[in-house]
Chains A and B, each alone.
Chain A
Amino acid sequence: AQSVTQLGSHVSVSEGALVLLRCNYSSSVPPYLFWYVQYPNQGLQLLLKYTSAATLVKGINGFEAEFKKSETSFHLTKPSAHMRDAAEYFCAVSPNTGTASKLTFGTGTRLQVTL
C-alpha cells in the first residue's frame, strides 16, 4: 500500500522568498514520486517526477525536489517565489515507472504568494 502526506494545506510566502512544500510518503515498494500543480480552472500539470535516477530532480518553472529515502520525504522547493506560482500543489506516489501507472495523491497544498 502507498500513501502520501502533505504537511500544510495552505502555505503563504512573500514574492521573492523561498518556497518549501512538504511531502512525506509511505510505500512498501520503491516509490516513484511526482509533484503536480493545479492553477484555477485548469487541469493538473506535471512539475517533476522522481524515478530512481538522480535524487535531486529539477522540474519546470524553477521548481526542484529532493528524494530522501531516510526521511521518506520528497519536498518541493523554489528559491524565489513569483506571483504566478500561486496555485494548488499535489504530491503523488506510484509503484511503477513513468506516470501512467496508478497514482495516489496527497491532499494538496495551496500556495499563496504575497507582495
Chain B
Amino acid sequence: GAVVSQHPSRVICKSGTSVKIECRSLDFQATTMFWYRQFPKKSLMLMATSNEGSKATYEQGVEKDKFLINHASLTLSTLTVTSAHPEDSSFYICSARDQGVGDTQYFGPGTRLTVL
C-alpha cells in the first residue's frame, strides 16, 4: 500500500517553544490529509482536516491558533504546535487520502511530543 511518513518520530521541547511536525505522502498525491491526536489508552481524536491550497478545517474544541496546519503541496502537510505546554504532550498521527485506489486513508507512524 501507499506510504506516509512523519518527521520527527519523537521530539522533546521546552515549554513555550514551537514544534513543527511534517507529514508526507511518499508515493501518491494527497489533496486531503488528516491530523489526529492520541492520548494514552484513548482513541485517536481527529483534530483537523488539511486541504491542499486552502485553510484547514478544525474540529470543535481544537484551537486553530495553537495548532497551525499548512498543506502547501500535494505531498506535504505540517502541524505546528505553538507555544507548547506540558498538556500538549501527546502522540500525533497524520493520515493522507489517496483518491486513486478505493479512496483510502493511509496513516503515518506518528510523532511523540513531550513538552517539559
Contacts and interface: CB of A to CB of B under 8 A. Distances in A.
Nearest to A92: B44
Contacts of B43: 4, 90, 104-108
Given A41-B109, A42-B109, A106-B43, A98 B102 contact: yes
A45 B107 contact: yes
Interface size class of B (residues with CB under 8 A): 20 to 34
Contacts of B1: 45-46
What is the size category of the interface that chain A forms with chain B? 20 to 34
A98 B97 CA distance: 10
Nearest to A39: B109
Interface in B92-116: 93, 95, 97, 99, 102-110
Given A105-B43, A106-B43, A107-B43, A36 B104 contact: no
A43 B41 contact: no
B27 to A, nearest CB: 14
Contacts of A45: 1, 107
B104 A46 contact: yes
A99 B98 CA distance: 10
Contacts of A44: 93, 95, 107
Interface of B: 1, 4, 9, 32, 34, 41-46, 49, 93, 95, 97, 99, 102-110
Interface of A: 4, 9, 36, 38, 41-46, 90, 97-100, 102-108
Instruction: List the 4 closest pairs (A to B, CB-CB), nearest first.
Output: A43-B107, A98-B103, A44-B107, A100-B97
